[in-house]
Structure 1
Amino acid sequence: MQNVVLGIDLGTSSVKIVMLNKQGELVGQCTQSYPLIEVKDNFVEQDPGVWVEQTIRGIEMLLQQVTDVIVEGISFSGQMHGLVMLSEQLQPLRNAILWNDTRTTSQCRLIKDTLGEKLYSITKNDALEGFTLPKLLWVKEHEPNIYEQLHMFVLPKDYLRFKLTGELCIEPSDAAGTLLFDMDNQSWSKEICASFNIPQTVCPPLVTSDQLVGYLLPKYKELFSQNSEISVYAGGADNACGALGAGIVNPRSALVSIGTSGVVLTPSDTARYVGNFIHSFSYLEKFSNYIMGVTLAAGESLRWYKSTFAPNLDFDNLLHEIEGIPIGSNGLLYTPYLFGERTPYGDANIRASFIGIKNTHHRSHFTRAIVEGITFSLKQCFDLLKEQNNQIEQIVCIGGAVKNEIWLQIVADIFGMPVSKLTNEQGPALGAAMIAGIGVGWFESYEQAVSICVETSRTLLPNMNNHQQYTKYFECYKLIYSETVSINDMLKNIVNEV
């Protein structure tokens, strides 16, 4: 019999649950998927009830796989920004509107026009379609009957935690992504709420990430067949938890995460507005911060490409084809703007492009162009972070790229820096489990948790000859946005006329 904690990561396409022991070893894991609800172009939603159902199913499966354990604590990570609206009876009023939903361009304009420079001084962020406040204002305008019933909003992981414990709360790493949060004072902004006639009471109570917020409800505790209570801790946003799970706890290191979206993140000494659609968010420790750039369709670009053009190939075989393709895919470039783009453009209208197609290109060239385009987009984010933090010496990569050595080497070559992969690459779920470990008293600090739970398995060095070639392609890549932005605006207008 061994004591363990659980980390639950509520992602965009699936919930992942990991089991961690006191020695920092993962003793079990389970993943359960769920669908997106794409009601029309730019609208992306999910049913919050499905999150709960699949999480419980995942816990049941994990406990069948790993027996003779006592679960001391549970904590959570989750997709950021998503809006879950609750009635007075604490029932969802509609489907959750997700981070990659971009219907709220006009609401973002309203926020900027109303708040002006105060937006940046209070939130340290730009108004972007993915954030929570624009979604709230969209519902207020387009679904007033639903908005009028709003008692409180929460973010995805906080809804899941509420259903398992009966306790409603949010912590700063997720609150910072709502555009309703005062970063300097680590509190809800009275000024922003008042500017849009939003009662501050609809904002959930604030707690810290490793704070004990409750215990598992009896009907769910029964799953574990143990007498002792199961403590539940607040947790954090997926990017913050992913950074913790990768050992990113000081400004000398940066995270490159390639999931559905792509993220480049580094800790920051202060909360400050950076510009260029770089986000400034709260980290997991009180008064700690990080800055982050985002590519909206990173792994999603490869998933879309495979399902559309190579549905019968698995990802391993698809990526194996790119090994013999030269750098730059023989003059073929891809921009991963399937949903628009976050950093550095903040443009919901821009769309993806293949540039340079010729009759000598085959599927393998397009596959490599997809991989290189995703990585170029992340390099744009990294260069902007490096301007703010020139201490970065180490890159840790998690997500899709680490599963393929060719792609990981492409990251090292395009960035021109050593790139490390981890022995146990479990991302946000591991970070959530580490928070639970801190909560139950296993680890004295986030740094100690990292020293025990996180291990580098390999570091790939860049081929500087390849880096020089990639630099030339990267300069071409950066021109594509400005050369296609007006075309995409025209195309959107034509489509909207039909």
Structure 2
Amino acid sequence: MKYVIGIDLGTSAVKVLLVNQNGDVVQEASKSYPLIQEKSGYSEQNPEEWVDKTTEALSEIVHGFDGNVEDIEGISFSGQMHGLVLLNENKEVLRPAILWNDTRTSKQCQDIYEMVGKEKLLQITKNPALEGFTLPKILWVKENEPDVFAQASVFLLPKDYLRYRLTGELHSEYSDAAGTLLLNVAEKSWSEEICRLVDIPFELCPPLVESIDCVGGITSDFAAITGLSETTKVFAGGADNACGAVGSGILSEGKTLCSVGTSGVILSYESNKDLDFEGKVHYFNHSEENAFYTMGVTLAAGYSLSWFKDVFAPGESFEDFVDGMDTVPIGSNGLMFTPYLVGERTPHADSTIRASFIGADASHTRKDFVRAVIEGITFSLNESIEIFRENGKQIDTIISIGGGAKNKEWLQIQSDLFNAEIVKLKSEQGPGMGAAILAAYGSGWHQSLQECADQFLIPAETYTPIEENVIAYKKLFKIYKTIYNQTREINEELKEFRK
């Protein structure tokens, strides 16, 4: 039996999967590392932590493996997007990595619009200037840490730095590069024009490869430390959302992913490089060669539900907390929730807006509020689906993963509200499995990523829309969409009173 390893470099932990040729996860290991948050809005990590914890996890996997390590044929990666790692000419890290959830760069986002122009930026990168992206971080360092910037030789994204430490080879790949605001997404090349307009050296951009490309083998030093064989091939890998799509089989037209974690994602496969969503949703290169994906984000999806539970039912199990939700009718007895606890991303890029309960009265019980929160999260996700459909995208099958796939009633709510077939997978490993599929395909196990995904991913349950529920949710969704504009000004005025 042959094996591959998928490494998912997340924000709070690295997760490593050992997967066999049947697609079975035979071993896994996870190691956590801290965030560095010295000021409000700052979010950084020490890249050496990624290397150390990945080394520990891989060593644990190899130590528990009872086969021949040379049968572990390939390694690939998934990683948190947008983070900035700056290296000097000796390939040494110059400062802690600035992460995707760091919000210090509002000024730099406005600077980008002034220097490049919003229309040109969308034309080239397919995405608006948001604080989470990489280019604003580069400009922040240039403005606030000029001595550091002067030493910078190249920038890398988090999983690309980790891969460099395993192989000694410097690369980025298209799915992660698409989240920097420096890539011409349609043409699959770094934009010299944007570099010139924002006045950063084009040489900062690393060489580009495909997600499926073999970029070398592991170094002899790393092999000695972990116990892996030097014959193990290393493949470039992809951004976490791209790998999550691969790991959920989102590899053909009509296939869409609904992922509910702390944030929520609606991600849809796209073969067309020329669609224009006017920056309303993200538009990135896929890990499949010459394919793309569009993506809408709800910033506080699962977080809205965990917040409500932690505040009003601390210590209670999730199962007990949602028990009885299925007895509450559609519309939560006239109660509605908007999940804007930390602002919103799609379709409203608004850091000031905050959440609301609308319609509460004395007859409502806790289970009404629980269902309202779940419906509100799903309404927000549906705004992304609506944008896709309004732009001509076909969305008929949605793979649901994460917290939203753990409750049967929530899965049916998704089917009714999205008016689509919802599929729950038998085994859900998300981005880590996507990285393993990239390594399996790169190792020659299958003729295509789709063929590999078909082998690895098995549907467990399917939910279909109930027509009367679809009609009711359409009425409720129309109401939901009015709340943002009616509360936006109120939240602007309340901002000065927040801690």
The TM-score, its normalising length taken from structure 2, stands at 0.93
Aligned-residue offset at 1:392: 2.4
Aligned-residue offset at 1:3: 1.9
Q: 1:396 aligns with which of 381, 394, 399?
A: 399
Q: 1:317 aligns with which of 312, 315, 320?
A: 320
Deviations 1:62-89 (A, max 9, x none): 3454432531110001111122222334
**8 Å CA contact retained: 1:282, 1:288:** yes
Within 2, Cα distance between the matches of 1:325 and 1:201?
Answer: 58
Amino acid at match of 1:187: S
**8 Å CA contact retained: 1:80, 1:238:** yes
Amino acid at match of 2:162: L
1:14 counterpart residue number: 13
Within 2, Cα distance between the matches of 1:79 and 1:219?
Answer: 26
CA pair 359-144 structure 1, distance change in 2 beyond 3 A: farther
Amino acid at match of 2:79: G
CA pair 44-402 structure 1, distance change in 2 beyond 3 A: same
Aligned-residue offset at 1:209: 0.6
Instruction: Give 1:219-234 correspondences, 5 Å limit.
Output: 219-222=221-224, 225=227, 227-234=229-236
Amino acid at match of 1:211: D
Aligned-residue offset at 1:410: 1.6
Within 2, Cα distance between the matches of 1:278 and 1:65?
Answer: 43
Amino acid at match of 1:252: G
Deviations 1:89-141 (A, max 9, x none): 43333332222333322222221222222112111111122211112222222
Instruction: Give 1:28-427 correspondences, 5 Å limit.
Output: 28-69=27-68, 70-116=71-117, 117-222=119-224, 225=227, 227-271=229-273, 272-427=275-430
Within 1, Cα distance between the matches of 2:475 and 2:151?
Answer: 55
Q: 1:434 aligns with which of 429, 437, 440?
A: 437
CA pair 111-227 structure 1, distance change in 2 beyond 3 A: closer
Deviations 1:298-324 (A, max 9, x none): 222233333343331233332335333
**8 Å CA contact retained: 2:271, 2:290:** no
Aligned-residue offset at 1:227: 4.6
Within 2, Cα distance between the matches of 1:307 and 1:131?
Answer: 30
**8 Å CA contact retained: 1:105, 1:348:** no
Within 2, Cα distance between the matches of 1:136 and 1:10?
Answer: 21
**8 Å CA contact retained: 2:173, 2:236:** yes
Aligned-residue offset at 1:159: 1.7
Q: In structure 1, the residue corresponding to 2:135 is in which secondary structure?
A: helix
CA pair 66-475 structure 1, distance change in 2 beyond 3 A: farther
**8 Å CA contact retained: 2:127, 2:279:** no
Within 2, Cα distance between the matches of 1:209 and 1:169?
Answer: 10
Q: In structure 1, the residue corresponding to 2:18 is in which secondary structure?
A: strand
Within 2, Cα distance between the matches of 1:313 and 1:367?
Answer: 13
CA pair 87-235 structure 1, distance change in 2 beyond 3 A: same
**8 Å CA contact retained: 1:421, 1:458:** yes
**8 Å CA contact retained: 1:104, 1:129:** yes
Q: In structure 2, the residue corresponding to 1:254 is in which secondary structure?
A: strand
| Range moving further from structure 2, 384-393 or 58-67 | 58-67
Q: In structure 2, the residue corresponding to 1:136 is in which secondary structure?
A: helix
Aligned-residue offset at 1:223: 5.3
| Range moving further from structure 2, 374-383 or 142-151 | 142-151
Within 1, Cα distance between the matches of 2:202 and 2:266?
Answer: 32
Note the aligned Cα RMSD (angstroms).
2.1
Amino acid at match of 2:188: Q
Deviations 1:19-59 (A, max 9, x none): 22123332222333334334444333333232223322322
**8 Å CA contact retained: 2:77, 2:432:** yes
CA pair 338-139 structure 1, distance change in 2 beyond 3 A: farther
**8 Å CA contact retained: 1:276, 1:344:** no
Runs of 4+ in structure 1 off by over 4 angstroms are: none
Within 2, Cα distance between the matches of 1:85 and 1:304?
Answer: 35
Aligned-residue offset at 1:214: 2.1
CA pair 157-225 structure 1, distance change in 2 beyond 3 A: closer
Within 2, Cα distance between the matches of 1:45 and 1:353?
Answer: 30
Q: In structure 1, the residue corresponding to 2:161 is in which secondary structure?
A: helix
Amino acid at match of 1:346: A
**8 Å CA contact retained: 1:125, 1:273:** no
Q: In structure 2, the residue corresponding to 1:43 is in which secondary structure?
A: coil
Within 2, Cα distance between the matches of 1:409 and 1:230?
Answer: 43
CA pair 295-227 structure 1, distance change in 2 beyond 3 A: closer
Within 1, Cα distance between the matches of 2:53 and 2:375?
Answer: 34
Amino acid at match of 1:113: E
Aligned-residue offset at 1:435: 0.5
Q: 1:443 aligns with which of 436, 442, 446?
A: 446
**8 Å CA contact retained: 1:102, 1:339:** no
**8 Å CA contact retained: 1:241, 1:431:** yes
CA pair 90-329 structure 1, distance change in 2 beyond 3 A: farther
CA pair 89-338 structure 1, distance change in 2 beyond 3 A: farther
| Range moving further from structure 2, 411-420 or 315-324 | 315-324
| Range moving further from structure 2, 21-30 or 207-216 | 21-30
CA pair 145-329 structure 1, distance change in 2 beyond 3 A: farther
Within 2, Cα distance between the matches of 1:224 and 1:138?
Answer: 37
**8 Å CA contact retained: 2:219, 2:230:** no
Within 1, Cα distance between the matches of 2:447 and 2:306?
Answer: 40
**8 Å CA contact retained: 1:270, 1:288:** yes
Within 2, Cα distance between the matches of 1:50 and 1:317?
Answer: 37
Q: In structure 2, the residue corresponding to 1:148 is in which secondary structure?
A: helix
Aligned-residue offset at 1:289: 1.3
